[in-house]
Structure 1
Amino acid sequence: MIVEAGLACVPAPGRTDEGCEDHGALGPSAMVVVDGVGLPAGGCRHGVAWYARQLASATLAAVATDDGPLADGLASAIRTVAARHRDCDLAHPDTPSAAVGVLRIGAGSVDLLSLADVAIAVDLGADGLHVVVDRHAEARAGLAEAGLAGHRIGTAAHAAAVAGLLAERETACNRPGGFWVAAADPDVARRATTATLPGAGLRRAVVCTDGASWPVDSGVWNWPDTFALLDSRGPYGLVAAVRELEAADPDGVRHPRVKRHDDATVAYLRVLP
């Protein structure tokens, strides 16, 4: 199997690459995408961008060298990164955390893992399109689009609605009955949504943060449309198409969202004939 892969990690407009809280990593047989979350006062002197980069590289190293369950690899990576900043306050509720998506091509199979809303779509040709995404955060906090509908980005009403969503998410984060994100506790890796698909029909696959997948979630386009964009424009072209949508609706009237722009990361592969 000859695989061509590409990666785009694009900060939100106005943010530098160094401040981008997304990160991606590619290996010969695996792709990892991380969407960092946290606050500057979260007890860690390194910050969210540092955490996202560390977790992406550690996860790729763990899953690429072991054919065991992806959850085991993610748990090992969380443990490794926690050890790298054990002098920080890792018990702080706003310590850096992240959503994670992993795809690994094995001997005859494709393994997938999604933790806290990084989306993975796999095109198996005649065997159809398969999507894996952890939706626990949305189920607990309510769909952002519904909660923000009618509120223009930048207004007090929008800020209040966002604050309500964030407060709801905070009460549910890494708690039974809520949703789970990677932070300092390796056991949360067992809460991820996983799947194993047959590898024989693999044609294309994409792993992306919600900064790149929100048009699918909002019904602007679907996963076949996404693959068509990736085939014609590549990962950076897909992010550019997302930015075009955001620029055409800067106040979030047609497409309600938490913020005007978000960091966007896309890892894409296709099998060459």
Structure 2
Amino acid sequence: MIVEAALACVPAPGRAGKGCEDHGALGPSTVVVVDGVGLPAGGCRHGVAWYARQLASATLAAVAGGDVPLADGLASAIAAVAACHRDCDLAHPDTPSAAVGVLRIGADSVEMLSLADVAIVVDLGADGLHAVVDRHAEARAGLVGVGLAGHRIGTAAHAAAVAGLLAERETACNRPGGFWVAAADPDVAHRATAATFPSAGLRRAVVCSDGASWPVDSGEWTWPDAFARLASRGPGGLVAAVRELEAADPDGLRHPRVKRHDDATVAYLRVLP
């Protein structure tokens, strides 16, 4: 099976020079997308962009061989990156963490793993589209949408609503009954959402951070819509289409969201004839 892969990792407008807090890594028939989160004063001197790059590279190295289960590979990568900055305050609630998506295409199977809200979708031809997204983190279309509805981005009311959501996130992050993200504890990798399908009918696949998948989450697009854009415009074109939606709704009234723009990463894979 010959797989063609393309990747776009685009920082949010206004973040030029500050480093993209998403990162994607490609290997032969394997892709990893990491969506980093955290705050500058969060106890880590390296920052979120550094953490996202390190975790993406370490995860790809751990799973690219094909013989390591994806959850085990992600767990070892989380542990390895934690070891790289043990001198930082890894227990701080705002220290860098990340959502992670892994797709691996083998001779007989397609394996997918989503921790937090990175979306992975495969087109299996006659067997249709299959999506794997860990929905425990943030509940984007529910908690975020309801909590921010009616508040214009940039207003004091919106800032107060975001602060409330962040406080709620802090109480639920990496705790039973809440949701799980990659940070310093490798065991969270085994709480990810995973699926495996036969690879015989595989035609194409996409892995994307929520900065690129939110139009589907919100109901503005369907996954077939997204694949049509990928086929005609590629990953960069898909992100450009997302930016067009954001520009058309700058106040976040049609699509309530935490910020006007987010970093966006899209990996698009096609099986060649």
Assess same fold via TM > 0.5.
yes
Q: Deviations for 1:113-171, whole angstroms, at most 9, x for unmatched residues?
A: 00000011110000111000000123499521122111110111111111111111110
Question: Quick one: distance in 1 between partners of 2:73 and 2:48?
Answer: 21
RMSD: 1.3
Name 2:190's counterpart in structure 1. 190
Ranges in structure 1 where 5+ consecutive residues have no aligned partner: none
Name 1:29's counterpart in structure 2. 29
Q: Secondary structure at the match of 2:254?
A: coil
Question: Quick one: distance in 2 between partners of 1:204 and 1:18?
Answer: 33
Q: Secondary structure at the match of 1:221?
A: coil
Question: Quick one: distance in 2 between partners of 1:141 and 1:126?
Answer: 29
Distance 1:23 1:251, change over 3 A: same
2:259 pairs with 1:224: no
2:109 pairs with 1:125: no
Amino acid at match of 1:7: L
Q: Secondary structure at the match of 1:62?
A: helix
Name 2:159's counterpart in structure 1. 159
Name 1:40's counterpart in structure 2. 40
CA contact under 8 A between 1:141 and 1:165: conserved in structure 2? no
- Which 10-residue stretch deviates more, 6-15 or 16-25? 16-25
- Which 10-residue stretch deviates more, 88-97 or 56-65? 88-97
For normalisation by structure 2, the TM-score amounts to 0.97
Name 1:206's counterpart in structure 2. 206
- Which 10-residue stretch deviates more, 8-17 or 167-176? 8-17
Question: Quick one: distance in 1 between partners of 2:20 and 2:107?
Answer: 34
Name 1:64's counterpart in structure 2. 64
Q: Alignment identity in percent? A: 88
Q: Secondary structure at the match of 2:138?
A: helix
Name 2:78's counterpart in structure 1. 78
- Which 10-residue stretch deviates more, 221-230 or 13-22? 13-22
Ranges in structure 2 where 5+ consecutive residues have no aligned partner: none
* Superposed counterparts of 1:138-177, under 5 Å: 138-139=138-139, 142-177=142-177
**Structure 1 consecutive aligned stretches of length 4 or more whose deviation exceeds 3 Å:** 138-142
Question: Quick one: distance in 2 between partners of 1:141 and 1:111?
Answer: 26
Distance 1:61 1:18, change over 3 A: farther
CA contact under 8 A between 2:141 and 2:217: conserved in structure 1? no
CA contact under 8 A between 1:109 and 1:198: conserved in structure 2? yes
How many residue pairs get aligned? The number is 273
CA contact under 8 A between 1:140 and 1:169: conserved in structure 2? no
Q: Deviations for 1:53-90, whole angstroms, at most 9, x for unmatched residues?
A: 00000000000024221000000100111111111111
